[in-house]
Amino acid sequence: SDRYCVFGHPIGHSRSPQIHAAFAEQTGQALTYEAIEAPLDDFAGAWHRFIASGGRGANVTVPFKEEACRLSDVLSPRARRAGAVNTLVLGNNGETCGDTTDGIGLVRDLQYQAAPLEKARILVLGAGGAVRGILEPLLGARPATLMIANRTAEKARRLAREFFDLGETTGGGFDEVVGTFDLVINGTSASLGGEIPPLPDDLFADDALAYDMMYGDEPTAFLAWSGEHGARTADGLGMLVEQAAESFFLWRNVRPDTAAVRKRLRPER
């Protein structure tokens, strides 16, 4: 059967093998999917060894997404704009094709969560690689405004200018956040250290959704804070499932049913 994998470093806690095994079972596709810890200094070698041993495609996670973008022979337009690749596909002539399904995965999950998108006021926290990857599909959902706020304000301003052609986008520091928002997405890595960006208490509009791109067994510090300040909350596990489904489709041309897999990963409490 065809081999697939996810490359990361570290990779031990990845839930992708479980998700893709469920997709394969559900759709009757004969494939295997494993987690591979690539060496930090030789991602390209890990990918080439993998295809030499029957690999057909891979997901790529932290910290290799930019490197996967550089090693791709062919890039999808959305991967080029994101500057990152989370899905590698071995082409018919042995070429490496790079794409990204992170952004569409986020938007699919937001739709599943019935998040306000069209005409909504959206605040995105962070201006790193993760945020760059979601801006095009978010702006494609036609929000009223999208503000990017970041610890380093200049990075947010630069990113906003870069995406302004796709919709009303502004950037600044956390101290420049004013007004209320219908959707606040945390794309900083502050959650990893249990920290929360310094934000005004009255950030959330009525029926606002607070979304953290991270996930874990416990709610992140950002989601706990958001819940205390009146927002509905969602973590990034749904995004993980949806981006996986899009990658699976790129490889196999079959669309898995994500709702069934969501339930399996996190039965209703």
Active-site amino acid positions: 65
Selection from 93, 103, 95 nearest residue 124 by Cα? 103
Is residue 170 a contact point for ligand ATR (CB under 6 A)? no
Q: Which of 84, 205 has the CB closer to ligand ATR?
A: 84
Tell the residue number behind the tokens 């990113």, with chain if given: 159
172 within 8 A of 146, measured Cβ to Cβ: no
The one-letter amino acid at 26: Q
Compose the 176-215 pattern: x for residues touching ligand ATR by CB under 6 A, - for all others.
Answer: ------------xxx--x-x-x------------------
Question: Whose Cβ is closer to ligand ATR: residue 188's or residue 220's?
Answer: 188
Size of the site for ligand ATR (CB under 6 A): 16
Q: Shortest gap between Cβ of 88 and ligand ATR (angstroms)? A: 18
Closest residue by Cα to residue 42 from 75, 11, 67, 79 = 67
Any known ligand binding at 129?
A: yes
Distance CA 185, CA 8 (A): 24
**Close Cβ partners of 42 (under 8 Å, ≥ 6 residues apart):** none
127: its two tokens: 């201006």
Beta-bridge mates of residue 121: 145
> Does the annotation flag 86 for ligand binding?
yes
Contacting ligand ATR within 42-61 (CB under 6 A): none
Q: 266, 208, 218: which is closest to 239 by C-alpha?
A: 266
Numbered residues of the known binding site for NADP(+): 126-130, 150-155, 213, 236
The binding site for ligand ATR (CB under 6 A) comprises 126-131, 150-152, 155, 188-190, 193, 195, 197
List residues forming the annotated binding site: 14-16, 61, 86, 102, 126-130, 150-155, 213, 215, 236, 243
Annotated binding-site members for shikimate: 14-16, 61, 86, 102, 215, 243
